[in-house]
Amino acid sequence: MKRIVVAIAVLTASVGFSNPIEPIVFDSNSIETDLFKKRKKLKFNRRVQYPAGFNIYAAGPVGLVGLSFDYFITPKIALEVGSGIRNLAPDIGFFGGGRYHFFGKTPLNLTPYVGIYSGFEYTGNDIRNYNLYIPVGIQRIKKNRIAWSLEVAYQRNSYDKGNNIYGGGKLGFRF
Is 17 within a domain? no
| Arithmetic mean of pLDDT, 4-30 | 56
Does 158 or 24 have the greater pLDDT score? 158
Domain that holds residue 140: 47-174
| Res 6: pLDDT | 61
Is 116 within a domain? yes
Quick one: which of 41, 16, 45, 158 has its CA closest to 111?
Answer: 45
Does 122 or 80 have the greater pLDDT score? 80
Residue 156, CA distances (Å) to 87, 163, 173 in order: 16, 8, 29
| Arithmetic mean of pLDDT, 58-68 | 91
The answer to whether residue 108 scores a pLDDT higher than 60 is: yes
The answer to whether residue 11 scores a pLDDT higher than 80 is: no
The domain total for the chain is 1
The answer to whether residue 19 scores a pLDDT higher than 90 is: no
Q: How does the average pLDDT of the chain come out, rounded? A: 84
Among 59-68, 107-116, 132-141, name the one with the lowest average pLDDT.
59-68
Is 155 within a domain? yes
- φ, ψ for residue 111, nearest 5 deg: -130, 140
Q: Are 113 and 137 in contact (CB under 8 A)?
A: yes
Is 15 within a domain? no
The answer to whether residue 7 scores a pLDDT higher than 70 is: no
| Res 89: pLDDT | 82
At 95, which CATH number? Answer: 2.40.160.20
Is 36 within a domain? no
| Res 30: pLDDT | 59
Is 39 within a domain? no
> Confidence band (pLDDT; 50, 70, 90) for 81?
very high
| Res 137: pLDDT | 98
The answer to whether residue 22 scores a pLDDT higher than 60 is: no
Does 90 or 65 have the greater pLDDT score? 65
SS (H, E, C) the chain: CHHHHHHHHHHHHHHHCCCCCCCCCCCHHHHHHHHHHHHHHHHCCHHHHCCEEEEEEECCCCCCEEEEEEEECCCCEEEEEEEEECCCCCCEEEEEEEEEECCCCCCCCEEEEEEEEEEEEECCCCEEEEEEEEEEEEEEECCCCEEEEEEEEEEEECCCCCCCEEEEEEEEEEC
Is 57 within a domain? yes
Is 28 within a domain? no
Percent of the chain whose predicted confidence (pLDDT) is above 90: 53
Half-sphere exposure in the Cβ direction for 33 (13 Å, CA): 4
| Res 42: pLDDT | 46
